[in-house]
Every structure is written in structure tokens, then in C-alpha cells.
Amino acid sequence: MTRRVVGPFNRVEGDLEVMLDVEGGHVAAAFVNSPLYRGFEQILEGKTPLDALVFVPRICGICSVAQSAAAARALADAAGIAPPRNGRLAANLTLAVENLADHLTHFYLFFMPDFAAAEYAGASWYAEVSAQFRAQSGKAQTEALAARARFMQAMGLLAGKWPHTLAVQPGGTTRPLTESEIFRLRRIVREFRAFLEARLFAASLETIAGLDGQTALERWRKQARAGDLRLFLQLADRLDLWSLGQSGARFLSVGAYDEGGGAFLFAPGVWHAGTVLPFAPHQVSEDVSCARYVGGKAQRPAEERTVPRYDKPGAYSWCKAPRLDGEICETGALARQLVDGQPLVSDLVACRGAGVGARVLARLLEFARVVPALERWLDACDPDGPWCMPAPLAENCLGVGFVEAARGALGHWLTVRHGLIGGYQIIAPTTWNFSPRDADGQPGALERALVGLPVPEQGTIPAVVHHVVRSFDPCMVCTVH
């Protein structure tokens, strides 16, 4: 057996290293290491609760609004309030713009450039794919960056700036929108839709969102002449990205985009072998047996304290090991769409597996499902209604906030003692996905997804390893924080 260290990984957000135990040309075991610790949970202790809104977005430059929204929900929960309708819509809009921009960054800048790797140079599709997706010079990449910059101008109006806004508050938003600003926002969304329909799909969003299974997808594909989705599907078949990198974990979604009255655009739940069960927050725990912290066995987030210990024996990552009722979970767009029962994703997973292909396709499908929701939320804003309400906190209280970030389930657990933050725990999507082993030696989702991949004992690490790792769209700065 040979141990190989793969890293540093670039084109992921933050720092990542993977150790692979290779036996007979295949990965026998994988260990995922998040090699950066900054200590936000320690920094937050003793601060005024509302100051969390300044600190937590700065955990992550790519999921900044998601962190902010989770903190706002934890504070609102502690205060026992809910924002007025406009505030809820503005929070949805702000979070959705970030999530969609992240999906775009992932596909064009992080994931696809790996198919321009030298090892594919002989493939029939290589010339076309590398011309479009080669890092820094591909045509698609240049166009996507321009579309992203224009789309992010929505943040100027919704949130003042991005990243690191303070506009998302427990009581709503600090940025009431006027009729004329809503008009300009509609224009920005319209241009983004045009980019997606021309470049990514070469079809209307409604056509893509309406594909209700593999048969429909195949029928659509046969007549498709252009678009990056068509190119991706071609790669997925040729390289069998469908079966590649399956984690076999449960799929967790905490529910995406609050539609009011307890409803979500994408429902919360836990998907396991075709069945969806309700998500029970009290079943969440974190284990630090193999993480560089004082402690060991699983604890509930509200009862945890984070005390780093670099040289802890047996520990190999700064990432903790979150578990749901003791089980590992995978989270992200694929989890959201599976839990929500989206027909195409459900059918694909049932027939071809929940691997790299399904993860990426679910993300692309979210463009087609979320952009129309953006248009609807903008129409529903009422410039004359209230946007923000006060959220006074008691001296001693508890709050929990859940949000679906681009990469999946994000939870904040807040304890207020004597008017100050007594405890603050964060479990980010990639903490779930890139979890290390727990007290029972149970590996995390990526650690399982890597097992069995063909990797030589020496020489270049094959691109499949990169495809599997990046298909999760890891955000390492959130993972450890």
C-alpha cells in the first residue's frame, strides 16, 4: 500500500489536501484534510449578538450572504420574530443571486477546466472542450466572468455591496427598494436569463425545468445543437461521470428560499434510498475524534465549545465531523433537488446513480428553477410596505438559523448569556461533505466517494480525482471557519 498526498487543490474555495491509500492501482481509503484554522467560533464569544452579522459573512468570501442569512435567522429565532414579507423576499433575492453566481463560478471556473487537462488530449471532444473551458483563456470562461460581473450588480441594489454586506438583518433588510430600483433589478435578471438561455442551455429555462426524466432529457438532447449543457452531457456519457464518485450517504436539505407560512421553494428533508424523511435539527451532532480539537465523542452544537489542539494524536483535519442521528450526510444542489422530488434528478439518480454527473446536473438545473423565482419575488415586492422590523433580544436566549447555501445545508447555533454571545457554533455544507472520520471510524462523504477510484502508486494523479473532489463544489473556508 502506498500513501499519496494530493494537494494543494486549487479551483476550490480555500485550502484542501487529500491523502489517498492506494492498493493495486485503486484508492483503498481516503482522508480529507482542511489545513486552515482561523477560529471564528472563538472570536465570537463575548461579542454583542448583533456583531455576529459583521463577523460571520467574513468566514467566507463566496458564501458571504448565506453566512449572514443564517446568523440573521438565528438572531430572529432568539428574538422570536420573523421579518415582514418584503424583508423575506429581499433576503431570498440576495441569497439566490449569491447562490446562482456561485453555481456559475463553479461550473465555468472551477469544474470544467479539468476537462482541458493534458491526459484528455487524444479524445475526440478535446479540441472543442479545451477551446471553451481552458483555465484563464477559454471562451466560455471569459463570457461567464462577464455575465457574472453584470449579474452581481444586483447586489449593489439589494445589499450595497458583495461580498460582506450588512443588509440582511434579523428583522428584514436595511435596503428598502423603490419601484425604479425593482425595474433595474428586473433588467439585470433578464440579462442573466438571456446569458443562460443562449450560452449554457441553448434553450429556454422553462424547457430545461420541464424535463421530467431521462427520456425527456434524451429527446431534448437529440435535437440540441449548441450550449454548454449539451457539451457536459456528452462528457458525462463518454467518461461515465454518472457512476463516478458516489458517496452512498444520506442527502440533507434544510429547505431553500423561505416562501412564507412554513413553505420553501425547495422543501427540507433527508433523502435515503428513495425515501424522504423529515429533517430533525435535534439529531445534529459534531464529533471531533479525528479533528484537531479538544474533545472526542459527538456533542450537540449548542453544547459544544471549540478549543483547537494542533498536535492532537490521531487527528488529521481542522474540519469537525457532523452527523445526523449518527449518520453521515451529503448536502448541496443534488440533495436539494432529490429531497424536493425534482423528477429529472430523481429519475437520473434512480437509474444512473448519485455521482459526479448528478451533482453537476442538479446545480445547472437550479438555474432553470431559481431564475423564474427571482422574477416572481421581484414582482411580489411592495415598495410601500415595511421592509425591516426591530429584533430586541433577551439577556439570556438561544437561537438556531438554517439556510441553504449554494453548497448545501448551513446551520448556526447561538447562545446569548448576560446580553453577550456565550456560544456560537457553525456547521457549513462542506463540513458535512468533507467530514473526517468519527469515533466509530466512519468516513465522511468525500472520503467514501473517493474509494475505488483508479490511481497509480506513482506519477500524475488522474483527472477523475479532481472531477470527484470538485463535483462537491467544496468551500473550505466555510468548512473550518
Partner 1 sequence: MKLIWLQSGGCGGCTLSWLGYAHGPLLEVLAEAGIELVWHPSLSAASGDEALALIEAYASGARSFDILCVEGALLRGPWLDQLPSGNFHCFGGGKPMLDWVLRLAMRARHVVAIGSCAAFGGITAAGGNPTDAAGLQHDGEIGGGVLGPYFRDAVGLPVVNVSGCPPHPDWITETLAMLAQGRLTADGLDEFGRPRFFADRLVHHGCPRNEYYEFKAGAEHPGEQGCLMENLGCKGTQAHADCNLRLWNGEGSCLRGGFPCIRCTEPEFEEPGHPFNTTPKVAGIPIGLPADMPKAWFVALAALSKSATPPRVKENATAERLRRAPSVKRSKK
Closer Cβ to partner 1, 251 or 316, answer by number: 316
* Nearest-10 crossing angle of helices 126-133, 228-238: 130
Rounded to a whole number of angstroms, the minimum distance from the CB of residue 115 to partner 1 is: 11
Rounded to a whole number of angstroms, the minimum distance from the CB of residue 74 to partner 1 is: 16
Q: Residue 30: beta bridge partners?
A: 20
Say how far residue 454 (Cα) sits from the centre of its chain: 27
Residue 348 cell numbers, joined = 437520473
299, 326 contact by CB (below 8 A): no
Rounded to a whole number of angstroms, the minimum distance from the CB of residue 424 to partner 1 is: 11
Angstrom distance (rounded) from CA 118 to CA 463 = 9
Closer Cβ to partner 1, 155 or 265, answer by number: 155
Give DSSP secondary structure letters for 287-329: E-TTBTBS--S-B-GGG----B-TT-TT--BS--EEEETTB-E
Amino acid at 78: A
Rounded to a whole number of angstroms, the minimum distance from the CB of residue 26 to partner 1 is: 19
Q: Pick from 421, 415, 409, 393: which is nearest to 479 by CA?
A: 409
436, 447 contact by CB (below 8 A): yes
Closer Cβ to partner 1, 11 or 26, answer by number: 11
Angstrom distance (rounded) from CA 185 to CA 177 = 10
Closer Cβ to partner 1, 351 or 380, answer by number: 380
Rounded to a whole number of angstroms, the minimum distance from the CB of residue 212 to partner 1 is: 35
206, 372 contact by CB (below 8 A): yes
Give DSSP secondary structure letters for 348-381: HHHHH-SSHHHHHHHHHHHHHHHHHHHHHHHHH-
* Nearest-10 crossing angle of helices 126-133, 139-151: 40
Rounded to a whole number of angstroms, the minimum distance from the CB of residue 442 to partner 1 is: 25
Residue 37 cell numbers, joined = 484554522
Rounded to a whole number of angstroms, the minimum distance from the CB of residue 387 to partner 1 is: 5
Closer Cβ to partner 1, 6 or 398, answer by number: 6
- By residue count, the chain amounts to 481
**Could you tell me whether strands 397-405 and 420-427 are parallel, antiparallel, or unpaired per DSSP bridges?**
unpaired
How far from 195 is each of 220, 246, 293, CA to CA, in Å? 19, 31, 46
Side-by-side strand order, sheet with 17-23: 2-6, 17-23, 26-33
**Could you tell me whether strands 329-331 and 250-253 are parallel, antiparallel, or unpaired per DSSP bridges?**
parallel
Closer Cβ to partner 1, 13 or 340, answer by number: 13
Rounded to a whole number of angstroms, the minimum distance from the CB of residue 450 to partner 1 is: 14
Closer Cβ to partner 1, 156 or 422, answer by number: 156
Closer Cβ to partner 1, 165 or 425, answer by number: 165
Residue 245 cell numbers, joined = 464518485
Closer Cβ to partner 1, 364 or 388, answer by number: 388
Angstrom distance (rounded) from CA 123 to CA 112 = 15
Closer Cβ to partner 1, 178 or 215, answer by number: 178
Rounded to a whole number of angstroms, the minimum distance from the CB of residue 464 to partner 1 is: 13
Rounded to a whole number of angstroms, the minimum distance from the CB of residue 58 to partner 1 is: 5
